[in-house]
Amino acid sequence: MPFLSESIIVFVSLPQLLIGYENGTVVLWDLRSKRADLRAYYDEAIHSVAWHHEGKQFMCSHSDGSLTLWNLKSPNRPFQTTIPHGKIQRDGKKPESCKPILKVEYKTCKNSEPFVIFSGGLSYDKACRRPSLTIMHGKAITVLEMDHPIVDFLTLCETPYPNEFQEPYAVVVLLEKDLIVVDLTQSNFPIFENPYPIDIHESPVTCTEYFADCPPDLIPVLYSVGAKHKKQGYSNKEWPISGGAWNLGAQTYPEIIITGHADGSVKFWDASAITLQMLYKLKTSKVFEKQKLGEGKATAEIVEEDPFAVQMMYWCPESRIFCVAGVSAYVVVYRFSKHEVNTEIASLEVRLQYEVEDIITPEPEIIPQFPDASSQIPSLKSLSGSTNTVACEGMMKDSIPCLSVKTRPVRMPPGYQADLVIQLVWVDGEPPQQITSLAVNSAYGLVAFGNCNGLAVVDFMQKTVLLSMGTLDLYGSSDPYQRQPRSPRKSKQFAADHVNGHCTSPTSQSCSAGKRLSSADVSKANRRGPGRPPFRKAQSAACMEISLPVTTEGYISRRAMLQQLHGISTFSHDERHYTAHTWMNKENRENSFSRSRSSSVSSIDRDSKEAITALYFMESFARKNDSAVSPCLWVGTGLGMVLILSLNLPASDDLRQSEPVMVSPSGTVLTLKGAVLTFACLDCVGTLTHPPYEVWRDPHSADDGEKTRKRKLVMHSPSSSQDMGDHQFAVICSEKQAKVFSLPSQTCLYVHNITETSFLLRADVVTLCNSVCLACFCANGHIMTLSLPSLRPLLDINYLPVTDMRIARTFCFTNEGQALYLSSPTEIQRLTYSQEMCDNLQDMLGDLFTPVETPEAQNRGFLKGLFGGSGQAFDREELFGEATAGKASRSLAQHIPGSGGIEGMRGAAGGVIGDLTRARIALDERGQKLGELDERTASMMASAEAFSKHAHEVMLKYKDKKWYQF
């Protein structure tokens, strides 16, 4: 057909085809007569055409932002031309041109003015205006601005037939990164609330947690409180698009995914079976004051942007305690309540410093004094970079948190409500180091967190700090390494006048007592005794993204190191400020990144800070001579050291709010290769023992009865009905190996070296098929599982090499043989290593489409059909089918496909496809034979019937004759 040779815009209204050309030509083509019934011409290129329901008018959109309305009876020129967004000229000239209208739809209503809906067409005067959708209804013009460019839109109508009043009720708009539906039945045109998780990456995802087999009441509860937090302005009608169905299969346990985001928000998702439905959104930034312009310098020295980015999360589903660690060195403890409250937010400030005493050597070298104050600042900058920041007034920052907690009463809606905010503060001009590990226990009422400086334990029930201690001090007298004696601490004034061993005060005297060593040299001298083997830096394996600096140069250095050591070829640069989790000075950055991950002498890092990489509360034997389990906190460090801290809780729960809690080192020290990643505890028969927890109770319940106020604690795992016995197994996994210790004897029963050439990114003890195993994800892409407690390898498969830091940051395991990670900025990839799940996967897949019957067309009266002059709807069968066109002549040639063609050869050569082809051919042959047999049977039946009839006639003829009459 000739009109197909050019670029066209087609609108079909069978049996007519309305065609708009880019050169401004409009053609109305009749499919039955195969000729053009109408040709019209316009000066501007046509982008789209729309058909009037009665077939008398049509509308075109053009490249100059105009809309033209045409009449079929007089198609010489449009009878109406408008530029909806063009400015009207005073002299009566044509309005100024606008941007092209890319698409227009013209929908009619029976009892009101028609709807004209189009995209584009805005004026050129504002170049920064966002993409928009314009709705014209009568004289009212409404412009809906979109957050993303419009790809396409479609108007939903009450009837699919174009020859009737369409009665539009909604517009579906497909954006580049979203899908919205506009309600046309209300005057303000609100949008429908989207039930699908289109906005999973509304803010970049910074961390994830995955929980399978959670308490079944959590999903309804989270959904109910999430429904109350919905934005205002949504349409009160249900989502108008239907179709598709979820198939849950045989899986019955609920699953929840938690995502932390760069803007400080936390989202809870229902991930049961293969669904993904958003349940509840929590904004952690609401506990802090908004930073004004020019403020936030303390935070800026730790992280370049996104000061509220969620770094770590810890959730106890049974007690509903939720804890968040932010990138600005803070921890927020949340409690769940179904009631709205208006209260002040309690806050604590923790001073956590890496304590290294000054060592004064007898060397007589004297550091020269600064001549004047003007030379002080440049020297500081060259010596320490941005590590020790001195204010313009010459005073160091001290005891200042990075963010300001709201001091006024805050309205907290139902859901998770902030119970306590814990912030690390600046210490002697050094900003707080970011948090590397986090653990919470609701039964003990304690939260523990650590960084590269040390460990802090806070009682969130009494709102007090129980422990704030450097990592070296945690060892106490049980330090396995020999250390040199430390000199007494200098005075506060002496410490303030010296930075990295250099005198900085222009008024102070020369350091005649001896040379003051730098912090790196002091650390190395303290940590390395005569009997201590060389060690690797603390920020390897588990802290790989915790140790990344926030500057561009540090990020590239980290990338180059990983490329050389692990063969990683591609990185995403937009992850720079989300992978930065530990602030380091320029000197340490240059030294640490130039070293390899090996444990040789050459890999000794000058930065000897021993980061806390894993924390775990459990009931265990703290010492070798213990006869019963007691509350303990297991601490793992980046150097592979495991420390056990004893927790002395009040004897009765009634005294918990008044009696103090004591935390003290037990003296037990265990060692592994590499940074410690995870802990677990098994009873004497090898069953996983969960930490004790408090059964959830609403803290703001209206019922103030005795039962409501009293805490209900579960001290042992519900799955273990037997007594724990006189011993237990402690499972510890590091980035290099896994060990199982027998307690209280502390004997290493099993050890398995997981990897030598790479390191683990994530390790979790999970339940699978009523058993327990250790699941590991290695940086070389291998997923491995080990049996417990014997540590026998069960699975080792090369799944996915870590080519993106996003994978390393978001990968996590959960129960029932499942895991997930963020495969792209907008996609969550779930995987399973359970055979049972794989067998049921096909039953869990959903159906994208569901069959829906087409509504019946409106009955047309005789007079309307005779005098209406409107078009009539036709389908393909009516136009081209045998019912209308008649059967083809038998004399015409017919194509009968055979098995010897190309398609047949391809099918026969393709394994299963070949078998299917042969089976289909056999069925065709069988059908042909059955057809022939049917014809023969019919012929025989006809012959039999004729013979029977003839025999009956003969019988009647000779029935009354005698034998002698023949």
Query: 675-696 pLDDT, tens per residue?
Result: 999 999 998 888 999 999 999 9
Q: Based on the number of CB atoms within 10 Å of its own CB, is 29 exposed (0-12), middle (13-18) or buried (19 or more)?
A: buried
Predicted pLDDT of residue 730: 95
CA angle 410, 414, 415 (to 5 degrees): 105
Predicted pLDDT of residue 963: 54
Other Cβ atoms within 10 Å of 326 Cβ, number: 28
Predicted pLDDT of residue 767: 92
> What is the spatial distance between Cα 61 and Cα 20, in angstroms, rounded to a whole number?
10
Q: What single DSSP character describes residue 882?
A: H
Q: Are 795 and 771 in contact (CB under 8 A)?
A: no
Instruction: Give CA separation, 624 vs 627, 668, 741, 859, in Å.
Output: 9, 8, 12, 91
> What is the spatial distance between Cα 601 and Cα 330, in angstroms, rounded to a whole number?
36
Mark the ranges of the chain whose per-residue pLDDT is less than 50: 1-5, 296, 357-394, 484-495, 497-607, 718-722, 870, 891-893, 899-900, 902-904, 907-909
- Bridge partner residues of 133 (DSSP): 119, 144
Going by C-alpha positions, the residue among 587, 191, 579, 516 that lies closest to residue 356 is: 516
> What is the spatial distance between Cα 526 and Cα 465, in angstroms, rounded to a whole number?
28
> What is the spatial distance between Cα 336 and Cα 929, in angstroms, rounded to a whole number?
73
CA angle 438, 444, 446 (to 5 degrees): 35
Predicted pLDDT of residue 548: 30
Q: Are 131 and 149 in contact (CB under 8 A)?
A: yes
* Per-residue 3-state assignment (H helix, E strand, C coil) for 664-702: EEEEEEEECCCCEEEEEEECCCCCECCCCEECCCCCCCC
Residue with tokens 């069925």: 923
Predicted pLDDT of residue 641: 93
CA 449 to chain centre: 24
Q: Are 523 and 608 in contact (CB under 8 A)?
A: yes
> What is the spatial distance between Cα 248 and Cα 847, in angstroms, rounded to a whole number?
11
Average pLDDT value over all residues in the chain: 74
Q: What secondary structure does DSSP assign to 381-440, as a single string?
A: HHHHTTSS-B-TTSPBP-S-BSS-B--S-EEE-SEEEEEEEEEEB-BTTBPPPPP-EEEE
Q: What is the pLDDT of residues 753-787, one digit of tens each?
A: 999 999 999 999 999 888 999 999 999 999 999 99
User: Nearest 10 degrees: CA dihedral of 343, 344, 346, 349?
Assistant: 160
> What is the spatial distance between Cα 490 and Cα 498, in angstroms, rounded to a whole number?
11
Q: Are 846 and 247 in contact (CB under 8 A)?
A: yes
Predicted pLDDT of residue 607: 43
pTM to 2 decimal places: 0.70
Going by C-alpha positions, the residue among 119, 138, 126, 124 that lies closest to residue 176 is: 119
> What is the spatial distance between Cα 283 and Cα 334, in angstroms, rounded to a whole number?
11
Position 174, amino acid: L
> What is the spatial distance between Cα 369 and Cα 507, in angstroms, rounded to a whole number?
9
Assign residue 816 a region (left: φ > 0; alpha: ψ between -120 and 50; beta: otherwise): left
Q: What contacts 890, CB < 8 A, 6 or more positions away?
A: none
Predicted pLDDT of residue 129: 76
Going by C-alpha positions, the residue among 366, 358, 370 that lies closest to residue 394 is: 370
> What is the spatial distance between Cα 212 and Cα 422, in angstroms, rounded to a whole number?
29
Residue with tokens 């390393």: 808
Tokens coding 527:
């940590």
Q: Based on the number of CB atoms within 10 Å of its own CB, is 912 exposed (0-12), middle (13-18) or buried (19 or more)?
A: exposed
Q: What single DSSP character describes residue 155?
A: E
Q: What single DSSP character describes residue 193?
A: P
Q: What is the CA radius of gyration of the chain?
A: 39
Q: What secondary structure does DSSP assign to 227-277, as a single string?
A: HHTPPTT--SSPP-----B---TT--S-EEEEEEETTSEEEEEE-STT--E
> What is the spatial distance between Cα 390 and Cα 373, in angstroms, rounded to a whole number?
13
Assign residue 284 a region (left: φ > 0; alpha: ψ between -120 and 50; beta: otherwise): alpha
Q: Are 499 and 349 in contact (CB under 8 A)?
A: no
Q: What contacts 648, CB < 8 A, 6 or more positions away?
A: 661, 662, 663, 664
Predicted pLDDT of residue 1: 41
Q: What contacts 196, CB < 8 A, 6 or more positions away?
A: 179
Tokens coding 60:
């075109």
Q: Are 688 and 682 in contact (CB under 8 A)?
A: yes
Q: Are 758 and 707 in contact (CB under 8 A)?
A: no
Q: What contacts 19, CB < 8 A, 6 or more positions away?
A: 3, 8, 9, 10, 11, 26, 27, 28, 29, 49
Predicted pLDDT of residue 632: 95
> What is the spatial distance between Cα 486 and Cα 658, in angstroms, rounded to a whole number?
38
Could you tell me how many helices (H) and strands (E) the chain has, helices first?
16, 49
Q: Are 402 and 350 in contact (CB under 8 A)?
A: no
Q: Are 229 and 413 in contact (CB under 8 A)?
A: yes
> What is the spatial distance between Cα 250 and Cα 638, in angstroms, rounded to a whole number?
42
Longest dimension (CA), the chain: 164
What is the dihedral sign for C-alpha 146, 151, 156, 161? positive
Q: Are 446 and 631 in contact (CB under 8 A)?
A: no
Q: Based on the number of CB atoms within 10 Å of its own CB, is 922 exposed (0-12), middle (13-18) or buried (19 or more)?
A: exposed
Query: In which element (H, E) is residue 590 found?
Result: helix 586-593
Assign residue 267 a region (left: φ > 0; alpha: ψ between -120 and 50; beta: otherwise): beta
Going by C-alpha positions, the residue among 806, 810, 781 that lies closest to residue 796 is: 781
Tokens coding 551:
């500057």
Strands 728-734 and 676-682: antiparallel
> What is the spatial distance between Cα 155 and Cα 116, in angstroms, rounded to a whole number?
10
> What is the spatial distance between Cα 603 and Cα 584, in angstroms, rounded to a whole number?
18
Predicted pLDDT of residue 571: 26
